[in-house]
Amino acid sequence: MKISASLLDASDRISSVDKLNQTGISYLHIDVMDGKMVDNIQFQDMDEIKSINNLSHFKLQIHLMVEDVSSYLDRFIGLNIESITFHLETKQDILENIQRIHDMGYRCGIAICPDTDIQDIYPYLDKIDMILLMSVIPGRGGQSFILDTKDKIIMLKNYIGKNHLSVLIEVDGGINDKTISLVKDADVAVVGSYIVKSDHYIERVNSLLD
Catalytic residue numbers read 31, 172
Binding site for ligand DX5 (CB under 6 A): 6, 8-9, 29, 31, 63, 136, 138-139, 141-143, 172-175, 190-194
> Around Cβ 26, how many Cβ atoms within 10 Å?
16
> From CA 62, how far away is CA 154, in angstroms rounded?
25
Beta bridge partners of 28: 5, 60
Comparing CB distances to ligand DX5, the nearer of 78 and 142 is 142
By the 10 Å C-beta count (0-12 exposed, 13-18 middle, 19+ buried), 202 is classed as middle
Kind plus residue range of the DSSP H or E element containing 72:
helix 69-72
- The residue from 27, 30, 31, 191 that contacts Zn ion (CB under 5 A) is 31
SS3 of 166, please? Answer: coil
| Nearest residue to ligand DX5, scored by beta-carbon proximity | 192
Nearest-approach distance from CB 140 to ligand DX5, in angstroms:
6
Comparing CB distances to ligand DX5, the nearer of 109 and 138 is 138
Q: Which of Zn ion, ligand DX5, none does 136 bind, CB closer than 5 to 8 A by kind?
A: ligand DX5
Q: Which of ligand DX5, Zn ion, none does 191 bind, CB closer than 5 to 8 A by kind?
A: ligand DX5
> From CA 25, how far away is CA 3, in angstroms rounded?
5
SS3 of 140, please? Answer: coil
Nearest-approach distance from CB 164 to ligand DX5, in angstroms:
29
Comparing CB distances to ligand DX5, the nearer of 109 and 141 is 141
Comparing CB distances to ligand DX5, the nearer of 29 and 105 is 29
The answer to the question of residue 170 lying near Zn ion (CB under 5 A) is no
Q: State the DSSP code for 24.
A: -
**Angle at alpha carbon of residue 131, lines to 127 and 136, rounded to 5°:** 155
Nearest-approach distance from CB 175 to ligand DX5, in angstroms:
6
